[in-house]
Structure 1
Amino acid sequence: MNTFRVLKTAVTDVAATTTQPGAATARTGVLNLSKGFTMQTPNFLAPTSRGVVPHLSPDNLEKNTGVEGVFVALEDFIEKAPQRIPPLYTYPSTLRSFISLPSSTFLLLSPRRSPGITCPKANSDANLSILTSVGFRDLPIKDYVSAVVRLEPDIVLGIADIANTVSPGKNRVQKMVNRTEMWLDELLKMVYPVAAAGEKEGDKSIPAVFAPILPLEKDRQRFYLSHLVDNVEKLAGLVFTGAEFVDVVPEELAGLPKLQSDVMGGPHQVLEMVGRGVDLFNIGFVGVMTDAGIALHFNFTANEVGDEDKLELATDMWDAKFATDLSPLEEGCECYTCKKHHKAYIRHCLEAKEMTAWVLLQLHNLKVMERFFGDVRRSIEEGWWEKGRSAFEKKYKREMPEGTGLGPRLRGYQYKSVGGDKKLNEPAYRSLDSGDEDGL
């Protein structure tokens, strides 16, 4: 069975702004998945690209990080013929084996990356519009549902019909509600008959289904929320695309773990959402910082701060001042990078476009997040959560620094184009003719 148990709560200042029971409560909990995985919450998932945490091989992920779960998008693996290409559909094993995911790390499967690139074609009742490595296409809902059974993820996200506009009209809202409910029912109907058959044979590989909460006010999706309440015994959690909609959750669903699918605003956003009762976070901002050559260095403590200027949350390692700096990225950090290498080496690797630079930065940045979430859990358990949150707000700037150097080569889904943009990466080769300095 997939279960979630709340261990301790800590009411925050957010409680004064809402009347929703449990919506403004920071809490610790334990999530138990049917395949044997256990995770203490609040905690984070690492986003992946084609099933791999960027810059880290599976052995590095297992040996040098404490990452407990990864966020995998089926969109990454779909091409023109989803049943034949890529080999994902002909590989004689599960998605876990296909991507060589360490046995100690659980796998969450989503239909789309998060945040996903807006597709020019709208969804239909039978299809989800997605962006693949070969362009935009439709993913039949039935294909996603059958993929869940075939690929055997530990957690699966239901599909939400998200409008391309910020304020959808009445008719569009009705479609969003109806489709999301219909797609969730298709997923539940497929998962539970298979799960029941597996249980009879002693197979405990029952995927945990997280139902999507639409980015709509409570009144505009009340019928959908009522449907979730009616099926609460089949749900293992809830997933959100917007933090502002956490408070729409009915009291009957408040005991389910809550996942924020796209955290791009940094640790301040994480703390705000922990205070609203969110338990799991897909931390997209960490990969963005690593790609930019930036090292994170923040801590969550109850230490009081004075009137000094606020500190940066991270450091741009492209800065020339680090060329001869033999100190670690962060004093006292226990990550592999800080114990084995120094700032000068990492900056040299960045300048040389050596991929080791991003490997070392990713290892360090993930370790910072592990420590951060561990301290958040401890603050709730020991009763100094609100004091720590206030101290963090006073101590650190809210915005992350911007990188000044070139990152690794980007995939098309990693940025949005508005047309006429310059290339983000310099050409790898240039003309030897002195008159052509701009390259071929």
Structure 2
Amino acid sequence: MAQTQLEGAQRIGSRFPKLTFILDRGKQFGPRVGRLCLTRPSDSPSNHVIDIRTPNFLIGTSRGAVPHFSRDHVHSAKGISWINVSFESFLEQTPPVPTYQTGSQPLHNFLGFDSSKHIVSLSLRDPLDAREMPPNGNSHVSASCMRGVRKVTLADWRSYVLTMQPDIAFALSDTPFTVAPHSQKRLTKSIERSAAWLADLLRPVENMMDDSFSESTSAALNVFVHMAGGTSTSARRAFSHSLMETLYGLEADAVKPLLCLDEGVAGYAFDLAALHNSELLAQTPTPNTAGTPTSLSSSMIEPLSFLSLTPTLDELLRASLDSLPIAKPRLVTDVRSPHEILCLIRDIGVDVFDAGWAVKAADIGVALDFIFPVPSGHDSGPNHCKRDIGHNLYDAKYAHDFVSLSDAFLAGHNGTSSSKTPVCPCAACSPVAPTSPIYHSKVDVQSHQAQSDDGTSREQFLPPFTRAYLHHLLHTHEMSAHTLLVAHNVVILDALLTGVRTILSGHADQNEAEVIFAREVTRFEEVYDGAMSVLHTARDNWKDVKYARGKGRLLREAQKEKDVRL
């Protein structure tokens, strides 16, 4: 393993990119706006600065691919700036295949992302996967891959990070996925291991046959730490305190020149998957979830229930952040709805969210359709009921609905400069005609004119893909249906967070902006269905269509498996 670390370290370029977070407006708790800036080294092949305004979102991957997207889709998608890669999906081979990539920025190059516009982070586990796993050890974490569970040691993870050179690396965390509450001994072990594993990743890279390495190299590694402590506020405070306390002796020498662990931390991450699945939070009564299922799961085939920001969850996040610096980004994964996003921004001050729930909605055929802030005249749906947050395109009522996917946004083909309704720029609502032919041979070049008659290329919007067309694609199991839905849902999520930033930045007085934002959040909750019943219905329809494949073969096989278990 020492040899692997040596080889990985020698392949690193002059230094890692520099990540900075500028808090333009905000306080310890409450809505805030800022900018997340990644500056690449001057000798990097892509000397660019990536500037992400917050609140914003990241999107996860499966084996390095954004679900349902090709690389061209990722490059052309609106709003995707931060992509997270779960490395556990590559662990079926030893060593993992991506580690063979050579050159600078190997993670970007191996996965085909654009280093001039995409921040790519690397985590060991999928933050949305809360399945129960074998227990971790003092020096290893259990990870899941195609061939089962793998034990990843601290040396392994450090080697993978140094070799793949991600823009952001997540430190290992000892997260218990068993049902809460956990014993004091288990929580103590969790926070001690997580702090020790963070310190291991923050160790400086030794000078190895390359003058570019120095003790300051570790400070340039952008590390996000998972906030440990589970469902115990005291344990969360203890972990935060361990990040801030001054180090002495061997512990200080290991991470020198850092005086405390928090000095080497670039941001804080909260994984809500385990919290959502805990009985403690699931049983907490909430005003908006009456009559909705309390069992939550990250799996696509489980109901995507809405869990509002309960007092218990509020206290847990505040306990972690109370003693930590305000000017560092806060990332939350496994949010379940736009309502929960708005509550976390309003009450806690979260800067980045994952887009997993929007992708899962596309998996089950839901085209999101909401807008923030809610415009006047958009108060309620039919029969004065709350509006659904989207359209279940599996429903037969859309079989002859030849309009674009969203009521709140116009299609690019129908948009005008005088219209007050915003345009949805996604590939489904605003498809663009190619400005030049796609050449497959030199003969094609000779037979086509690459530019328009006046010598310029014009972007032209084609008619939008309709709900009826997507309904047809879903029922015929066409993969393009989910591609169009993911493209649309990601844009709707981006528009939500753009609306948040507009309100919080549009008023000179911060207190006034917070009051207006809180009022708009309340209005959003009054207009849109917080229970997200459309997702439950869509999930059932999705299963019906899935089991109808092969003349019902999947349904028969599922029934046989159920009979065997009984």
Q: Same fold (TM over 0.5)?
A: yes
- Provide the TM-score with structure 1 as the length reference: 0.84
SS in structure 2 at match of 1:137: strand
- Structure 2 partner of 1:278: 350
Instruction: Determine the C-alpha separation between the residues in 2 that align with 1:204 and 1:232.
Output: 13
- Structure 2 partner of 1:7: 24
Is the CA contact 1:119–1:130 (under 8 Å) kept in the aligned structure 2?
no
- Structure 1 partner of 2:268: 238
When residues 140 and 203 of structure 1 are mapped into structure 2, their CA distance, relative to the original with a 3 A threshold, is closer
Instruction: Determine the C-alpha separation between the residues in 2 that align with 1:302 and 1:206.
Output: 42
Is the CA contact 2:206–2:213 (under 8 Å) kept in the aligned structure 1?
no
Is the CA contact 2:240–2:324 (under 8 Å) kept in the aligned structure 1?
no
Is the CA contact 2:204–2:218 (under 8 Å) kept in the aligned structure 1?
no
1:169 aligned to 179, 183, 192, which one?
A: 183
Instruction: Determine the C-alpha separation between the residues in 1 that align with 2:207 and 2:132.
Output: 33
Larger radius of gyration: 2
How much has 1:204 moved relative to structure 2?
Answer: 12
1:187 aligned to 201, 213, 217, which one?
A: 201
How much has 1:255 moved relative to structure 2?
Answer: 1.8
When residues 198 and 204 of structure 1 are mapped into structure 2, their CA distance, relative to the original with a 3 A threshold, is farther
SS in structure 2 at match of 1:138: strand
Q: Extract unaligned runs of 5+ from structure 2.
A: 1-17, 41-48, 245-259, 273-312, 411-423, 431-463, 507-512, 561-566
- Structure 1 partner of 2:425: 334
1:312 aligned to 363, 385, 388, which one?
A: 388
- Structure 1 partner of 2:109: 97
Q: Structure 1 residue 300 and structure 2 residue 300: aligned?
A: no
2:170 aligned to 137, 154, 157, which one?
A: 157
Q: Structure 1 residue 54 and structure 2 residue 67: aligned?
A: yes
Instruction: Determine the C-alpha separation between the residues in 1 that align with 2:118 and 2:219.
Output: 15
Is the CA contact 1:6–1:29 (under 8 Å) kept in the aligned structure 2?
yes
When residues 155 and 319 of structure 1 are mapped into structure 2, their CA distance, relative to the original with a 3 A threshold, is same
Which one is further off, 349-358 or 378-387?
A: 378-387
Instruction: Determine the C-alpha separation between the residues in 2 that align with 1:380 and 1:149.
Output: 38
Instruction: Determine the C-alpha separation between the residues in 2 that align with 1:359 and 1:203.
Output: 40
- Structure 2 partner of 1:13: none
How much has 1:363 moved relative to structure 2?
Answer: 0.8
When residues 299 and 189 of structure 1 are mapped into structure 2, their CA distance, relative to the original with a 3 A threshold, is same
SS in structure 2 at match of 1:37: strand
Is the CA contact 1:71–1:108 (under 8 Å) kept in the aligned structure 2?
yes
| Percent identical residues | 26
- Structure 1 partner of 2:435: none
SS in structure 2 at match of 1:406: helix
Is the CA contact 1:109–1:156 (under 8 Å) kept in the aligned structure 2?
yes
How much has 1:218 moved relative to structure 2?
Answer: 4.0
SS in structure 2 at match of 1:236: strand
Instruction: Determine the C-alpha separation between the residues in 2 that align with 1:297 and 1:221.
Output: 37
- Structure 2 partner of 1:388: 520
- Structure 2 partner of 1:324: 400
Instruction: Determine the C-alpha separation between the residues in 2 that align with 1:428 and 1:348.
Output: 15
After TM superposition, the structure 1 = structure 2 runs for residues 30-429 of structure 1, keeping only pairs within 5 Å, are 30-35=35-40, 36-79=49-92, 81-83=93-95, 85=96, 87-93=97-103, 94-103=106-115, 104-163=117-176, 164-190=178-204, 198=212, 206-214=220-228, 215-229=230-244, 230-242=260-272, 244=314, 245-248=316-319, 249-263=321-335, 265-275=336-346, 276-301=348-373, 303=375, 308-331=384-407, 332=410, 333-339=424-430, 340-382=464-506, 383=513, 384-400=516-532, 401=534, 402=536, 403=538, 404-406=540-542, 425-426=546-547, 429=550
Instruction: Determine the C-alpha separation between the residues in 1 that align with 2:224 and 2:207.
Output: 17
Is the CA contact 2:168–2:224 (under 8 Å) kept in the aligned structure 1?
yes
Is the CA contact 2:205–2:213 (under 8 Å) kept in the aligned structure 1?
no
SS in structure 1 at match of 2:331: strand
| Aligned-CA RMSD value | 3.0
Instruction: Determine the C-alpha separation between the residues in 2 that align with 1:369 and 1:105.
Output: 18
Count, aligned residues: 403
Amino acid at match of 1:56: F
Is the CA contact 1:346–1:357 (under 8 Å) kept in the aligned structure 2?
yes
Amino acid at match of 2:120: L
Which one is further off, 349-358 or 209-218?
A: 209-218
When residues 37 and 425 of structure 1 are mapped into structure 2, their CA distance, relative to the original with a 3 A threshold, is same
How much has 1:274 moved relative to structure 2?
Answer: 0.9
SS in structure 2 at match of 1:344: helix
Q: Extract unaligned runs of 5+ from structure 1.
A: 10-21, 408-422
Instruction: Determine the C-alpha separation between the residues in 1 that align with 2:403 and 2:126.
Output: 37
Instruction: Determine the C-alpha separation between the residues in 2 that align with 1:428 and 1:247.
Output: 48
Is the CA contact 1:303–1:388 (under 8 Å) kept in the aligned structure 2?
no
When residues 424 and 77 of structure 1 are mapped into structure 2, their CA distance, relative to the original with a 3 A threshold, is farther
How much has 1:54 moved relative to structure 2?
Answer: 0.6
How much has 1:23 moved relative to structure 2?
Answer: 4.3
- Structure 2 partner of 1:414: none
